[in-house]
Amino acid sequence: MTIETDIRTPLKEALEDAGIIASVYPAMPDAFIAPLVAIIPDAPYLESRLINSAVTKVKVNFIIAVAVNYQNNAAALDNLEQLVISILGAMPSGYEVGNVNQPTPLDIQTGKYLVADLLVSTYYNETPN
């Protein structure tokens, strides 16, 4: 059991199963086509608590980064808002959903995008062998 298999991949699958109209990744891909949803580490990423030297409980903080094509400001903002709202509606139980950061234009080699970050946390328990 790992954070990848227990947290990021199930969240990715939940978003895909909910019919989110975007490419959904459990990490930031090297290259992408918008619309994009990527689950990436936040800071602090892992907040650990050792309980009775037997169980390590870790709060996992990450960002759900969203990006849409940015060709017209009003249309891009509407597309970004719709994508964020659909993500909020698809969040599985056990995840704490925080704020959405201010949308920001981003130019990279593959194009121009409007991006925003949704702050999300959950817990991971690991018991020693």
Q: Are the C-beta atoms of residues 79 and 35 closer than 8 Å to each other?
A: yes
- CATH code of 3-126, in short, is 3.30.2000
43 φ, ψ (degrees, to nearest 5): -120, 125
Asked which of 29-38, 49-58, 103-112, 114-123 is least confident by mean pLDDT, the reply is 49-58
The SS3 call for residue 71 is coil
CB atoms under 10 Å from CB of 59, counted, come to 15
The SS3 call for residue 15 is helix
Model pTM above 0.75 = yes
Which tens digit of pLDDT belongs to each residue from 87-114?
Answer: 999 998 899 999 999 999 998 877 899 9
Confidence category of residue 54, pLDDT binned at 50, 70, 90? low
* Rg for the chain, CA atoms, rounded: 16
